[in-house]
Structure 1
Amino acid sequence: MEFSAFSKEAAQNASKYDWKNFQNETVKRLFEKISSLGFSAVNDTEKLRLISNLEASLTNMYSTGKVCNIPGESTCLELEPGFKDTGEYWRSWYEVPTFESDVRNLYNELSELYQHLHYYVRQKLRNKYNADVFPATGHLPAHLLGNMWAQQWNNIYDLVIPYPSAGRVNITKAMLDKGYNITYMYQVAEDFFKSIGLQPMPERFWTESMLEKPADRDVVCHASAWDFYNKQDFRIKQCTSITEDQLMTVHHEMGHVIYFLEYMNQPIIFRRGANPGFHEGMADIVTLSFQTPEHLFKLGLVDSVPGPNDTDADINFLLRMALEKVAFLPFGYLIDQWRWSVFKGETTPNKYNQKWWELRCEIQGISPPVNLYRDEEYFDPGAKYHIPGNTPYIRYFVSYILQFMWHKSLCDVAGHTGPLHRCDIYQNRAAGEKLREMLQLGSSKHWSEALFTVTGSRTMSAAPLIEYFQPLLQWLKKQNGNADVSWNKACPQNEPPSSAAIIKISVSLTFISLIFVFLF
């Protein structure tokens, strides 16, 4: 509420100036940002308070899972803060009128890579679970992919690993064997950023952050980073555990804090990422270096680094990275395709769930986890944190494009030779200085100018991501042969269970009946 009042006062003050005719582009941009109020333009204080409380309530519902839907309840507010709908307002943050078509074109560039990964994984899982589990339409059942939302598939790596004999070290076990504790995990992440010349965590970070789940209360455990805008207080809130995945998340959240620290001397209106994808991209970029065998060897978490001719180990590594990065791309793209459609009124409440599964079937090639029509009794989008939390999602898709662009450019600055997926910029100050140049801009320049400082390009491109996975794509094409790797765009219709499935069900019911006979 205080921030909203402050924003209104600042906008009123800015309106006293003829800022649209200012000659200084930076000052002109500053006034333009101040004048764009978004939701703060709503003059009804009680409505603003309700919005704030509603968002907090929805997030709490998500985190605790203790509140059920109450029929007849409705808390929707119709807001028109100078845009046709909320989706248009969110897209305005990217400052290009062609943003929707731009991200669609980027996704189309990546579709071949995803389709070949999808087909390879489908064949591997068919061999394990038998063909009768899979729809004839070529979709992957959502519940077989090792993730609640089927958004990343790295948890099924052991089921689809190309070369099991090449193996992979259990990083979580190595961390425990080396005596890692939660504080040390954050120190390891801090060391990476310091090694390339970026700032250390301030003292208050260590004393004020919530790095472990409190024992005395329920909290939202969804990891997040916080800037309190006083140039002193920067925190992470995370229920950290000692695992490899959590170590990646620690690096991710600290990447956000590094961005906060680097642009903290900008005017407050510019203390944000050049666009929303920049912050998420920055949070992920060091994980591309961190996960390389070279870096894990430097940390003592693996005993050796595969040689240049060890193609089996390379394909294993790239496949695991693809299960994390490539598998996410259609999911990251479709979430806001659904939400923008809702905001525009194209998808009405009586078809929310239908539209959700249409997009997942068409874009992601994923079918519902049960062979039943998911009708409007369900609201499956609400199972994803960012929907009840009202957090725009296309930023994550954009961030994946950006992080690979930055990674390639920083590796070039660092003088890396060899394949892009084996580059580690750890301890390279030249790469860090190039990155800092962009981070310190905050949003004071159009994101295309910020991008240019690192990459020399003012437009987003999927080429570096494709280059990173090119050895894997060629290998996948060879494995998949001449197969049609696409799937039917429409969701599979209800199909009768196979005779084998009926037999299994009958046997199970008979067995259960016998148990009840013996017990009672």
Structure 2
Amino acid sequence: MKLFGLLLGCGLSQTLDERVAILEDAVMQQHKEIDQLKQRLTKAETEISVLESSLTCGGAAFHDVCGCASGYAYYQGECVPSDEAAARAWIEEFNVDYQFYVHDASDAYFAYETNITDANLAAAGAASARFGAWYSAHIPHAIRVFDWKNFEDPLLKRQFSKLLGNSNSLNAEDSAALNNAMNNMNKIYASGTVGDADRCVYLEGAEEGGVALEGIMANSLDYNERLWSWLGWRTNVGDALRPHFETYVEMKNKWAQVNGFEDYGQYWRSDYEMPEDNFNDMAVTEYEKIEPLYVQLHAYVRYRLGEVFGNDIFDQDDGLLPANVLGDMWGRFWTGLNQFVVPYPDAPDVDVTEELKAQGYDAKKMFQLSDDFFKSLGLERVNEIFWDKSVIERIPDVEMVCHPTAWDLGNGEDFRIKMCTDINMDYLLTIHHEMGHIQYDMQYAWQPPQFRDGGNEGFHEAMGEVMAMNVATPEHLRAIGLLGPAGDEETEYQTTINFLMFQALQQVATMPFTIMMENWRYASFNESITTDEWMEKFWQMKNEWVGVKAPAERTEESADPAALYHIANDYSMMRYYSRTIYQFQFQKVLCDACGHTGPLYTCDVYQCEAAGDKLKILMGKGSSQYWLDQLHEFTGDDEATMNADGMRDYYQPLMDWLVAENSRLGITPGWDASKTEYHPFDENMDFVGKCAENKAAPSVKPLPFADFIQQYIKA
């Protein structure tokens, strides 16, 4: 009836193409409704089964025998084995099919993110529905039959905990609201552009001969162009994200609460398995060790940026840095500022971008260089599937999500990376970071799916970072022919300070950004910050913690935090904070294994198989063991915990240099968040321009959100 009505309603004035489009939309809607009915039917059948079991057993608990012999439980009209041996056999069989369905769905999602079309959208939705139907049909057996919380085998108990520990679901209405919010945030972020009369600009992965917003934020010498880019992204993306982000926070809190948590922030912190939920307190305490270095770095950067963009912008009484001049769209990493703040411009430059280009590096050659690095440690090379299936450059004339991500597609052999590589130092380090994720994935591939993750979320991120920090050393860059030979003692000192500055712009600068962002989210989830003051409190915290201000006044209509990929896509940020500390602890262990002597910042573990042997053991454990136990074994220290002492010591030469240089320049470090001032700007900037004709309606369609896949994608 719906299709017949649509045919009558088309009218003779419409073209054949228009009528076909209307019919196609109607067919897709009917398929969607059929899928929803199938899911409701599966859920109803499960509920009936559970009810029958409860009634037959007179309301007894699921693990009671209900007239069955010892070691059996009543389920779906019969007595089935319920002891640990049966549980072990059940989960082994379950995992065979689980890997198939996860791979099926992950493959479809990868295809969609690398080629955003209606056909790929439909395929991803269908694959997600197949997984959901299979999962819903099988998981009630484990819930009803096995008393897993009382298992004697600790590994089996941990495995079931990973599978079932947070298995309660939202009701249908709330689940639909969450999925809709996540789908729309995905769509808005992926299709975001900023335009003016002459151009329509993507965030990253510029078209041939063009520029990306990230390129503007890293390289433009025009303060107002950076402001246009910064404000445009938050106007076109942040404003649109706001209502969906509010729904996301509300529904994620509801989900956390039905699974026994006070709020979603507490659920995230549970990844660290701290009995008193005090991991955030530990994280803040460790930052206090690094904060003095950050304050000195902030002051020096402020002075140098004043020379570039004008002291009238930077001589204001507040001492705050405008957020639009910090090297990327969010001020998360300051490596784009190296060209402006390098301490010794005449000393060898550890940013080897120009050398990469001079030597003819392309994306594949950069990835092969990274693969060689891992092989030199005695670790695994990536397989042919990786080279065949990965997408490492923007595909011409195809809309895709360019944000770099490493994918474990769930079957133990299919690993891929998706990114739009540019030929520069930042991307060289990003490649090693993402390949670090892939190496971790390969090393724990022998584990059951429930344990295919890092010891905690920060371990996985740290593994990528520790590889990148080795590659960035002058020692390594010389070893692979991207940096000239060492000079005299004075030249080497200057090269060292340049190197430590380059590293600090990424590692030190990101720490207050990340810990502040996560504490804002924790406060938003626990409602100590209410929705009507989100932006106000966000920028207050940004001013106070980070010494950074918005370049223009912000309002509650926007959602500046969500204009970052990780926030819009439901990633915890604590993983990126804790990894920055872990990587120095990991590096110390690896360098000791290699017999390194001298300062840690001179260590490069390239070609050291002893380091690889240590890494194999740690990575191979996956999440099968509590992270502190893993850290104790890896370091050989039974008292080891997350500790920033190593990071502070690593940067001591730079700290000494910054204190002396700031004093020489007459710079007073610090800022006053109570005196925020804004530089005048053109309030009639155009943020749409040519984008109106290029993308009158975003071509990106909402992708069905699937929590189960996120474990396998590292950003």
Q: TM-score with structure 1 length normalisation?
A: 0.88
Residues 48-447 of structure 1 correspond to what in structure 2 (within 5 A)?
Answer: 48=175, 51-52=178-179, 54-65=181-192, 69=239, 75-76=247-248, 77-78=250-251, 79=254, 80-82=257-259, 83-96=261-274, 97-134=277-314, 135-168=316-349, 171-306=352-487, 310-370=492-552, 373-447=553-627
State the Cα distance separating 1:333 from its structure 2 match: 1.0
Please give the per-residue CA displacement for 1:23-45, whole angstroms capped at 9, x wherever unaligned.
433223223222312xx521545
| SS state at 2:482 partner | coil
User: Take 1:404 and 1:446, find their aligned partners in 2: how far apart are those partners?
Assistant: 20
User: Take 2:574 and 2:242, find their aligned partners in 1: how far apart are those partners?
Assistant: 31
Pick which of 301-310 and 329-338 moved more: 301-310
User: Take 1:7 and 1:114, find their aligned partners in 2: how far apart are those partners?
Assistant: 48
Please give the per-residue CA displacement for 1:376-433, whole angstroms capped at 9, x wherever unaligned.
1332212211121121111100010111110111011111112111110011000110
State the Cα distance separating 1:102 from its structure 2 match: 0.8
Paired residue for 1:515? none
Paired residue for 2:641? 459
| SS state at 1:93 partner | helix
User: Take 2:617 and 2:455, find their aligned partners in 1: how far apart are those partners?
Assistant: 12
Q: Does structure 2 conserve the Cα–Cα contact (< 8 Å) formed by 1:306 and 1:313?
A: no
Q: Does structure 1 conserve the Cα–Cα contact (< 8 Å) formed by 2:390 and 2:416?
A: yes
User: Take 1:7 and 1:340, find their aligned partners in 2: how far apart are those partners?
Assistant: 31
User: How many residues are treated as equivalent by the alignment?
Assistant: 494
| SS state at 1:345 partner | coil
State the Cα distance separating 1:177 from its structure 2 match: 2.1
Pick which of 4-13 and 276-285 moved more: 4-13
| SS state at 1:386 partner | helix
**1:28 partnered with 2:157:** yes
State the Cα distance separating 1:284 from its structure 2 match: 1.2
User: Take 1:51 and 1:71, find their aligned partners in 2: how far apart are those partners?
Assistant: 14
Pick which of 74-83 and 428-437 moved more: 74-83
| SS state at 1:189 partner | helix
User: Take 2:535 and 2:141, find their aligned partners in 1: how far apart are those partners?
Assistant: 42
Q: Does structure 2 conserve the Cα–Cα contact (< 8 Å) formed by 1:277 and 1:398?
A: yes
User: Take 1:109 and 1:54, find their aligned partners in 2: how far apart are those partners?
Assistant: 39
User: Take 1:256 and 1:224, find their aligned partners in 2: how far apart are those partners?
Assistant: 9
State the Cα distance separating 1:100 from its structure 2 match: 1.5
Please give the per-residue CA displacement for 1:247-281, whole angstroms capped at 9, x wherever unaligned.
11111111111111000111111101111111111
| SS state at 1:236 partner | strand
Pick which of 151-160 and 329-338 moved more: 151-160
Please give the per-residue CA displacement for 1:347-398, whole angstroms capped at 9, x wherever unaligned.
122111111101110111001123xx32213322122111211211111000
| SS state at 1:226 partner | strand
User: Take 1:70 and 1:346, find their aligned partners in 2: how far apart are those partners?
Assistant: 24
User: Take 1:234 and 1:144, find their aligned partners in 2: how far apart are those partners?
Assistant: 36
Letter in 2 for 1:29: R
Pick which of 76-85 and 314-323 moved more: 76-85
Letter in 2 for 1:460: M
Please give the per-residue CA displacement for 1:457-494, whole angstroms capped at 9, x wherever unaligned.
4311001111111111111122233965222244x344
Q: Does structure 2 conserve the Cα–Cα contact (< 8 Å) formed by 1:332 and 1:397?
A: yes
Q: Does structure 2 conserve the Cα–Cα contact (< 8 Å) formed by 1:139 and 1:487?
A: yes
Q: Does structure 1 conserve the Cα–Cα contact (< 8 Å) formed by 2:350 and 2:472?
A: no
Q: Does structure 1 conserve the Cα–Cα contact (< 8 Å) formed by 2:333 and 2:507?
A: yes
Letter in 1 for 2:627: W
Q: Does structure 2 conserve the Cα–Cα contact (< 8 Å) formed by 1:333 and 1:397?
A: yes
User: Take 1:409 and 1:306, find their aligned partners in 2: how far apart are those partners?
Assistant: 29
Q: Does structure 2 conserve the Cα–Cα contact (< 8 Å) formed by 1:329 and 1:397?
A: yes
Larger-gyration structure (1/2): 2
Paired residue for 1:488? 672
Please give the per-residue CA displacement for 1:166-215, whole angstroms capped at 9, x wherever unaligned.
14166222222222222111111111111101111121111111112122
Pick which of 41-50 and 26-35 moved more: 41-50
Go from structure 1 to structure 2 and tell me whether the alpha carbon gap of 1:209 and 1:54 turns closer, same or farther (over 3 Å shift).
Answer: farther
Gaps of 5+ in 2: 1-127, 194-235, 683-715
State the Cα distance separating 1:3 from its structure 2 match: 5.4
User: Take 2:496 and 2:135, find their aligned partners in 1: how far apart are those partners?
Assistant: 51
Go from structure 1 to structure 2 and tell me whether the alpha carbon gap of 1:358 and 1:71 turns closer, same or farther (over 3 Å shift).
Answer: closer
Go from structure 1 to structure 2 and tell me whether the alpha carbon gap of 1:330 and 1:483 turns closer, same or farther (over 3 Å shift).
Answer: same
Go from structure 1 to structure 2 and tell me whether the alpha carbon gap of 1:493 and 1:293 turns closer, same or farther (over 3 Å shift).
Answer: closer
State the Cα distance separating 1:17 from its structure 2 match: 3.6
Go from structure 1 to structure 2 and tell me whether the alpha carbon gap of 1:256 and 1:53 turns closer, same or farther (over 3 Å shift).
Answer: farther
Go from structure 1 to structure 2 and tell me whether the alpha carbon gap of 1:84 and 1:306 turns closer, same or farther (over 3 Å shift).
Answer: farther
Could you say what the CA RMSD is over the residues aligned between the two structures, in angstroms? 2.5
Pick which of 132-141 and 8-17 moved more: 8-17
Q: Does structure 2 conserve the Cα–Cα contact (< 8 Å) formed by 1:14 and 1:31?
A: no
State the Cα distance separating 1:294 from its structure 2 match: 1.2
Q: Does structure 1 conserve the Cα–Cα contact (< 8 Å) formed by 2:242 and 2:557?
A: no
Q: Which residue, out of 16, 28, 31, partners 2:145?
A: 16
Gaps of 5+ in 1: 506-520
| SS state at 2:417 partner | strand
Paired residue for 1:512? none
User: Take 1:289 and 1:6, find their aligned partners in 2: how far apart are those partners?
Assistant: 44
| SS state at 1:164 partner | coil
- Using the aligned pairs only, state the percent identity: 37
Pick which of 468-477 and 3-12 moved more: 3-12
User: Take 1:179 and 1:379, find their aligned partners in 2: how far apart are those partners?
Assistant: 41
Q: Does structure 2 conserve the Cα–Cα contact (< 8 Å) formed by 1:116 and 1:476?
A: yes
Go from structure 1 to structure 2 and tell me whether the alpha carbon gap of 1:322 and 1:43 turns closer, same or farther (over 3 Å shift).
Answer: closer
Q: Does structure 1 conserve the Cα–Cα contact (< 8 Å) formed by 2:186 and 2:569?
A: yes
Q: Does structure 2 conserve the Cα–Cα contact (< 8 Å) formed by 1:60 and 1:220?
A: no
Pick which of 297-306 and 323-332 moved more: 297-306
| SS state at 1:235 partner | strand
